[in-house]
Chain A
Amino acid sequence: MGRYRHNAQAIRALVRPDSVHRDLYLDPELFELEMERLWRHTWIYVGHDSQVPEPGDYYTAQVGREPVIMLRGTDGTVRVLANRCAHKGTKLIGAVTGRCAAGALRCPYHGWTYRLDGTLRTVPLKSGYEGTGFESSEAARGLQPFACENYRGFVFVRLGADGPGFEDYFGESLSSIDNMVERSPAGRLEVAGGVLRYLHDCNWKMFVENLNDAMHPMVAHESSAGTAKRVWEEGGSVSPAPMVIEQFVPFVNGYDFFEKMGVKVYDNGHSYTGVNFSIHSKYASVGDYERRMTETYGEERAQRILGEARHNTVYFPSLTIKGAIQAIRVARPLAVDRTLIESWTFRLVGAPDELLGRTTTYTRLINAPTSVVGHDDLHCYRSIQEGLASGGNDWVNLNRNYSSAESAGVTGNYGATNEIPMRGQYRAWARYMTLGTQEG
């Protein structure tokens, strides 16, 4: 018998205005409830529609506890279906990507087939079901499509029936996706360059919190970015700086830089750092990219699009994007102390290939299981996971720049070293962990 399943009050009590209880990161029951509630009431990123360009193309993923298929139908619509045969539960597709043969999904076990919209097409020896009441069974309904939104190529799903609508949930935070898409002279993104899959032996929230934590880079990344800076300087600071130096060095900018870049916080746990400028602002221009942008958008609008260099945008709880470098990271929780972080990269359609090279270089340097930046981040997350096991202090402190005025709402612009993005995330966490529950 758990402490939290039937006690919304107890769940709410874990989130104070300025601190959160360590059970959020440690308690297996809360993790199960997150998968049942947070991961079902909110909008979770599945994939990008460029991964399934043609009818019948699929991409399979795990959303919370749910194996899903992102599938382009014969009508061109991208849907997200349960990857579970309506008969006995066999996963219909074992591969990660591919194309359905003969325009249908076919179960590898008993050969039931489904149309690309998920409806049941054929069952072998169908006469065996005559007069059995099969028509009114769950199985006869086929694969239920989940509530799904394709926002400018980014495909999100809401698994549960309850929860906010897509626009209500994300609101103006979608401007970060807009900016990422508009950085393409053709107004289109394509997944390219492969996916890095980095296993984190920590709770998913350490990762998500860290994305808009502007107080850690100069400390945690001194050994990597600081060493890169020193090695380059000892080599004579050759100009122009190589791309890898351009990408590493801003991580060890001072507190003043990170404070002044600014953070914008929205309702429902979303936020982005880099309102005014970011570590991506001073990248050298690449080839004739800016000319191509001006051709599409005109001088003024092109400059406005490229002038936005947002750092990280968190689409709570599952997706974080870096529009300025065309890379995203997706948190896929596996267990209370185990999380898969996927890093995907994108081609800006119509832009020179060198830009994709910049993107793949960045994601390798920063997000790979072999990244010296990633190593130190993960070391800290894992240390939290182990450190929080100690008794004596149950609370994780989020007091930095806290103001009691936040009780009215967290939305607004702040200095980026403020811990308000995290306070906003946990307000949303408590909201969706208790949505529709009976007080116990």
Chain B
Amino acid sequence: MSVSVRASDTALVDFVYREARLIDEKRLDAWYELFTEDGRYWMPLTRGQPDGETHTSLFYEDRLLLKVRIERLRSPNAFSQQPPSFCQHVLQQPTVEQADADANRYVLRTPFMYAESQLDRQLILAGVSWHHLVLIDGALRIRLKKIDLLNCDAALPSIQLFL
């Protein structure tokens, strides 16, 4: 009979902070590796949207699509990134909403502000991120990062990096 290893609240919260920092510092290969093989990065288009299959989302990326985005940012032909964009997350203290070691299921809720700048333009967004994490070989990984954007239904300009 195996004894479940439980991720500590500190480790969970630290993970969320580190994940945002990897994006802000553009360490996107390391960020990509945080996702499980079946991991998803999801930003719904409407409040309470049940799924990303038969309803349009702003992001509904599997690992393949995340890889395409990350590789594209390095392309000399990514014209919309000339000049490049930068981003900054400001996170409220994440709260552990679920921690079920037996089911290997951890859910955190993190209100955030996000700024994305490109030379003289700056976009400010706010919302709540939900991290659905699992422990694999002792390391936390992301099965789902869901971002509930406060103004998901607004007319939006280009959002080019990752929230």
Residues of A bordering B, CB below 8 Å: 192-199, 201, 220, 222-224, 226-228, 230-232, 235, 242, 244-245, 248, 340, 343, 345, 353, 356-357, 360-361, 363-364, 368-370, 372, 374-376, 378-380
Contacts and interface: CB of A to CB of B under 8 A. Distances in A.
Interface string B69-112: 10110010111101000000000000000000000000000000
B55 A228 contact: no
Nearest to A363: B56
A376 B82 CA distance: 10
B56 A223 contact: no
B45 A192 contact: no
Contact of A223 (B45, B49, B77, B157): B77
Interface string B38-72: 00000101100100011111111000110111011
Nearest to A200: B157
B136 interface: no
B10 interface: no
Given A194-B45, A199-B156, A230-B71, A368 B79 contact: no
A194 B46 contact: yes
A372 B59 CA distance: 11
Given A196-B45, A364-B60, A370-B43, A224 B72 contact: yes
Contact of B54 (A197, A356, A374): A356
A224 B68 contact: yes
B1 interface: no
A357 B54 contact: yes
B56 A345 contact: yes
9 contacts: A192-B55, A196-B45, A223-B78, A228-B68, A231-B67, A242-B64, A353-B53, A372-B69, A379-B80
Nearest to B163: A370
A231 B80 CA distance: 20
A376 B79 contact: yes
Contacts of B79: 220, 223, 376, 379-380
A337 B62 CA distance: 35
A68 to B, nearest CB: 18
B114 to A, nearest CB: 13
B141 to A, nearest CB: 20
B158 interface: yes
A194 B144 CA distance: 22
Interface string B12-35: 000000000000000000000000
Given A379-B80, A380-B79, A227 B54 contact: no
Contacts of A235: 64
A357 B56 CA distance: 8
Contacts of A374: 158
Contacts of A364: 56-60
Contact of A376 (B43, B53, B78): B78
Chain B contact-residue range equals: 20 to 34
Which of A248, A356, A376 has the most B CB atoms < 10 Å from its CB? A376
Given A223-B77, A227-B71, A201 B157 contact: yes
Given A197-B156, A376-B78, 14 more contacts: A194-B45, A197-B153, A198-B158, A222-B75, A223-B79, A224-B68, A227-B75, A245-B64, A364-B57, A364-B59, A369-B58, A370-B58, A375-B160, A376-B80
Nearest to B53: A357
B3 interface: no
B55 A193 contact: yes
Contact of A370 (B59, B68, B82): B59
Contacts of A227: 68, 71-72, 75
A134 to B, nearest CB: 40
Contacts of B60: 361, 364
A380 B56 CA distance: 25
B124 interface: no
B155 interface: yes
A242 B67 CA distance: 14
Contacts of B55: 192-194, 360
Contacts of A368: 56, 58
Given A369-B156, A369-B157, A375-B158, A194 B68 contact: no
A196 B157 CA distance: 11
Contacts of B150: none
Contacts of A248: 68
B154 A197 contact: yes
B159 interface: yes
Contacts of A345: 56
A379 B72 CA distance: 15
Nearest to A340: B155
Given A223-B72, A231-B71, A379-B79, A244 B59 contact: no
Nearest to A245: B64
Q: A-B pairs with the 9 shortest C-beta distances?
A: A375-B80, A379-B80, A197-B155, A369-B156, A223-B75, A223-B77, A223-B78, A360-B56, A227-B72
